Amino acid sequence: MNEVASLDAALVGARPQAMGALLRHFRDLDTAEEAFQEACLRALQSWPAKGPPRDPAAWLIFVGKNATLDRLRRSQKQQPLPADDALSDLDDAEARMATQLDDVHYRDDILRLLFICCHPDLPATQQIALALRIVSGLSVAEIARAFLVSEAAMEQRITRAKHRVADADVPFEPPDAAARATRLSAVATVIYLLFNEGYSATGGTAHVRAPLCDEAIRLARLLLRLFPGEPEIMGLTALLLFQHSRTPARLDTDGAIVLLEDQDRRLWKRDLISEGLALLDKAMRHRQPGPFQVQAAIAALHGRAARPEDTDWNEIDTLYATLERLQPSPVVTLNRAVAVSKVRGAEAALAMIEPLARQLSGYFYFFGLRGALLQKLGRDEEARNAFDRAIALANTPAEAAHIRMQLDRLAKS
């Protein structure tokens, strides 16, 4: 690995903790960001010669704080201070003291930083964009590319989000247990959305959006390190690992969707599956099931099956029934119907999804599944209608292409 790349990893790795502490000091996202940028610039000047410090985050917090205080003082008094000399002599002892002070707040700092970005007042697209910018440190250009919008539009979206959270007035005192739980759950949801943003990418967009999945997993692991005893965060991390393990098999070389049962399972990333299973094992010991854990358990059953026919659909059906209780939604029932079709047949599955027709009248997957079930029952004309609706509702060209393939099969039969 070259030197620049390793410096980069140190800066990226230290970013959440450093930004979290700087935000606590300055109580303003823009000032914290400028302080962090300033500290990074100085790190890039100083680290290559001296080597990176033992504790990059403490160094960045210390330097960022001082440099910014000096700048603020200078701009107030118009009096230059000999800041640079003092800072370049910064030794480890001072940085250590700064860490000791900051370690106490470490966990809540990062959680606050994440929570501000994931603030419930923000629409999901702004939450994700702000988290990527502030916590992950992606450039506006990178985020714009991932969301397939112009840089100017993304800049605007992020600025708007920042104004909104400034108005929202998130308290800076350490949160109590209930507030901490609320923050944790809001953050977990946004990490999940961030992952999906990357995961739903198809064809030509897959390569620019896959890093969003990696970033979501990194944030989930970070969150779990801060809150090691939270079964839902274990579940979330496991779920993302299972989903991501299938990435290499989800699209064929033309960028077309490959369904779970047609995927080449040898391409699945085994190390991610093992890590997910280890986390799920840990979560289960708590006997506090939650939506992320149940979804992870479902994904694990797919991950464990060497061949599609080895899948334990009975257990998946049971788990979806649990999920319906924990988090009732027509989409969960729709997913359950897939398991039901395997266990009790297409007729039963169709009966299960018919009542959802009104709620899911604009949902691509509803008509995709409905068509497939009708086709199995030999009701070709109705199947064709359902597939036509699905094509009209497809979110991506790959989805539409997939349904067209089903229609072709119908025409041939």
Partner 1 sequence: MLYAIFCYDSEDIVGAWTKEQDDAAIAKLGVVKQKLAQAGRLGPTVRLMPTTTATTVRKGREPIVLDGPFAETKEQLLGFYIVDCASLEQAIETAKDLGRASSSLGSYEIRPLRLFHPGSLAT
Query: Interface with partner 1 by CB under 8 A: which residues?
Result: 1, 5-6, 9-10, 12-14, 17, 56-57, 214, 218, 221-222, 224-225, 228-229, 234, 237, 271, 274-275, 278-279, 281-282, 285
Select 164 or 218, whichever has its Cβ closest to partner 1.
218
CB atoms within 10 A of CB 71: 16
Q: What is the DSSP letter of 2?
A: -
Taking CB atoms within 8 Å and a gap of at least 24, the contacts of 138-146 are 138/215, 145/208, 146/197, 146/198, 146/208, 146/209, 146/211, 146/212
Q: What is the DSSP letter of 264?
A: -
Q: How far is the CB of 15 from partner 1 (least distance, A)?
A: 9
Select 188 or 383, whichever has its Cβ closest to partner 1.
188
- What is the per-residue DSSP string for 167-198? HH----SPP-HHHHHHHHHHHHHHHHHHHHHH
Q: How far is the CB of 120 from partner 1 (least distance, A)?
A: 26
Which residues, in sequence order, are CB contacts of 323 under 8 Å at separation 6+? 291, 294, 295, 298, 332, 336
Q: How far is the CB of 137 from partner 1 (least distance, A)?
A: 10
CB 129 within 8 A of CB 44: no
* Angle (CA) 208 214 219, round 5°: 130
Query: Which tokens hold the place of 370?
Result: 């409905």
Among residues 251, 254, 126, the alpha carbon closest in space to that of 197 is found at 126
Select 216 or 356, whichever has its Cβ closest to partner 1.
216
The H-or-E segment that residue 339 falls in is helix 330-344
**Total number of residues shown for the chain:** 413
Q: How far is the CB of 277 from partner 1 (least distance, A)?
A: 9
Select 274 or 361, whichever has its Cβ closest to partner 1.
274
Select 177 or 411, whichever has its Cβ closest to partner 1.
177
Select 279 or 298, whichever has its Cβ closest to partner 1.
279
Q: How far is the CB of 286 from partner 1 (least distance, A)?
A: 8
Which amino acid is present at 179? A
Q: How far is the CB of 229 from partner 1 (least distance, A)?
A: 4
CA distance 290 to 323: 8
Select 102 or 317, whichever has its Cβ closest to partner 1.
102
Q: How far is the CB of 57 from partner 1 (least distance, A)?
A: 8
